[in-house]
Amino acid sequence: MKFYEVLRFALRGLGANKLRSGLTTLGILIGVASVILLVAVGNGSSEAIKSSISSLGAGSLTVSSSTTGRGGGGGGGGGGFPGGGQSSTSSGPRTQAKQLTIDDAKALVDPDKAPSVESSSPVVNANSVTTTYETTSHDISQFIGTYPGYFKAANKTVEKGAGFTQAQVDARAKVVLIGQTVADELFGTVDPLDKKINVDGTTFTVIGVLAASGSSSTGFQDADDVAIAPITAVQGSLTSYGSLSQIVVQAKNADVVDAAQSEITEILNQRHEITGSTADFTVYNQASAQDAVADSSKTFTVLLAAVAAISLLVGGIGVTNIMLVTVTERTREIGIRKAIGAPKSAILGQFVAEATILSVLGGILGVVVGVVGSRFEIVGVKPVIMPSSVALALGVSVAIGLFFGSYPANRAANLRPIEALRHE
């Protein structure tokens, strides 16, 4: 029997019971669409998180105090940037840890000892300060005091107005730049520039509004709920003149981040008299954070794909079940065909073809549903389709048709003509 004749018989067999064929196809469709969509959601989450981390500053490093005795050259988290996480190991508590100071920050811009460092910005952080403007109030998540170099290091862009200068830092000027969330919550449609706001009893003048970071939808802390002022003004009114929260360092370019990290570690080791692996500070860089996120996101995506693959497997079992029912119902037909000389291969090919057609049709429709579904946001995540996941899901659906259809087809092909003709 020629191939097109086998195909014609298979299509005629499927057409004889359209509802059953449609429901079987639906099972494969759901499985394939689930694989594509869930992998796309996992990939989309990964891209969103990596974009959020990148928006915190490319080529920047964050130095934080550590009382856990961790080595100073470690990295792997967002550090003190808004929304950043930390990954650290500890080797026991330190009892004589030195805090980070402004002198430490100034030492990191030594052109001889740290040629890879472009700028170093000391940072103090006042959390959840209450800010009021006329009758409106808002609790700002982060009120940061720092140097002008912080804006470039942390990838903060001034959208309206201007940043403060080093002269304003030296003069302890009470000026402030606010994020988009603060501007919306405090001023609404009013232009915030040159307006005076009360911050826990101290009056600051708004001289600029930061551009939206766009990272608040990823589940991290809202990076736009922030205000940035000269460090001297913040220390004099909101925090003490004690230790720094962190030091944000900008490398000269992305290629020398590792070199800058080594230089920072060496300088601080000397200043803090660190001789072993029990440094009282930790240096984080964004590249390490992105690598860590990429690894965890990959695991998350594989888990989602595994869950979706189970539904595809269930669809395949459905194919086997329906094909067994079909073979049972058409036993007399099989007996007649074998009695008039149909070879075993023709019967085998027909039923394998029927199962494969169901799977391929379900797979193609599943790809269409998956691609269309990925155009919409799912639980706040914009799915990102991976071509490899589409090819894999479609290929697996074809393999399922061949694998799960082979048992019923073999059962039909091995029927003895006399027994098949006696079947009621």
Phi and psi torsions of 247, nearest 5°: -125, 125
Cβ atoms of 281 and 80 closer than 8 Å: no
Residues 143 and 233 reside in one and the same domain: yes
Pick from 92-101, 141-150, 235-244, 403-412: least confident: 92-101
Task: Please give the Cα distance from 156 to 213 (Å, whole number).
Answer: 8
98, part of any domain: no
Q: What is the pLDDT of residues 207-222, one digit of tens each?
A: 999 988 765 544 456 7
Domains of the chain: total? 2
pTM greater than the 0.75 cutoff: no
Same domain flag for 233 and 334: no
Judge if 236 and 308 occupy the same domain. Answer: no
The conformational region for residue 79 under phi > 0 = left, psi -120 to 50 = alpha, else beta, is left
Task: Say if 180 falls within a structural domain.
Answer: yes
Among the ranges given (57-61, 266-270, 319-323, 386-390), the one the predictor scored with the smallest mean pLDDT: 57-61
Please give the average per-residue pLDDT across 398-418, as a whole number: 83
Which is nearest to 307 in space by CA: 41, 31, 45? 31
Q: What is the mean pLDDT of residues 373-388?
A: 84
Predicted pLDDT at 394:
83
> Residues 413, 299: one domain?
yes
Res 247: pLDDT? 92
Regarding beta strands 226-230 and 136-146, do their DSSP bridges make them parallel or antiparallel, or are they unpaired? parallel
Residue 419 pLDDT level (bands cut at 50, 70, 90): confident
- C-alpha count within 13 angstroms, C-beta hemisphere, residue 6: 20
Please give the pLDDT value at position 377. 83
318 domain-assigned: yes
Are both 233 and 298 inside the same structural domain?
no
Of 205, 248, 231, 229, which Cα lies nearest the Cα of 109?
248
Q: Do 299 and 228 belong together in one domain?
A: no
Over residues 349-377, the mean pLDDT reads 88
- Percent of the chain, pLDDT > 70? 87
- On the CB side of 82, CA atoms within 13 Å amount to 30
The pLDDT > 90 percentage for the chain reads 16
What is the per-residue pLDDT for 344?
Answer: 82
Has residue 281 got a pLDDT over 60?
A: yes
Cα separation, 133 vs 90, in Å, equals: 44
pLDDT for res 48: 78
pLDDT for the residue numbered 55 = 63
Mean pLDDT of 184-195: 90
pLDDT at 74: 47
Compute the distance between CA of residue 337 and CA of residue 346 in angstroms, rounded to an integer: 10
Whether residue 231 is found in the same domain as residue 306 = no
Using DSSP's 3-state secondary structure scheme, residue 205 falls into: strand
Lowest mean pLDDT among 6-15, 72-81, 279-288, 349-358: 72-81
Q: Considering just the CA atoms, what is the radius of gyration of the chain in Å?
A: 33
> Residue 345 falls within a domain, yes or no?
yes
Range(s) of the domain holding residue 133: 124-249
pLDDT at position 90 is 43
d(CA 158, CA 210): 4
User: Tell me, what's the pLDDT at 80?
Assistant: 43
Name the phi and psi angles at 206, rounded to 5: -75, 120
Question: 275: burial class by Cβ within 10 Å (0-12, 13-18, 19+)?
Answer: exposed
Domain endpoint, select from 249, 284, 301: 249
Look at residue 166 and tell me if it is in a domain: yes
More confident residue, 124 or 337: 124
Structural domain includes residue 116:
no
Asked whether residue 173 is domain-assigned, the answer is yes
Amino acid at 6: V
pLDDT for res 96: 56
Rounded to an integer, the average pLDDT of 155-169 is 89
Give mean pLDDT, residues 185-197.
90
| Co-location of 245 and 330 in the same domain | no
Tens digits of per-residue pLDDT, 313-349?
Answer: 888 888 888 888 888 888 888 888 888 888 888 888 8
In a domain? residue 282? no
Give yes or no: residues 188 and 133 share one domain.
yes
Do 414 and 311 fall into the same domain?
yes
- Output the pLDDT for position 231: 92
Say if residue 178's pLDDT is above 90: yes
DSSP code per residue over 130-184 = EEEETTEEEEEEEEEEE-TTHHHHTT--EEEE----HHHHHTT--EEEE-HHHHH
At 286-295, the pLDDT tens digits run: 767 767 777 7
Which pLDDT belongs to residue 77?
39
State the average pLDDT over residues 159-169.
91
Asked if residue 229 lies in contact with residue 176, where contact means CB atoms within 8 angstroms, the answer is yes
- Per-residue pLDDT, averaged over 306-312, amounts to 81
**Alpha-carbon torsion angle 110, 113, 119, 123, nearest 10:** -90
Predicted pLDDT of residue 34: 87
C-beta separation of 144 from 227 below 8 A: yes
pLDDT, the chain, mean:
81
Asked whether residue 302 falls in the same domain as residue 225, the answer is: no
Q: Is 408 helix (H, G, I), strand (E, B) or coil?
A: helix
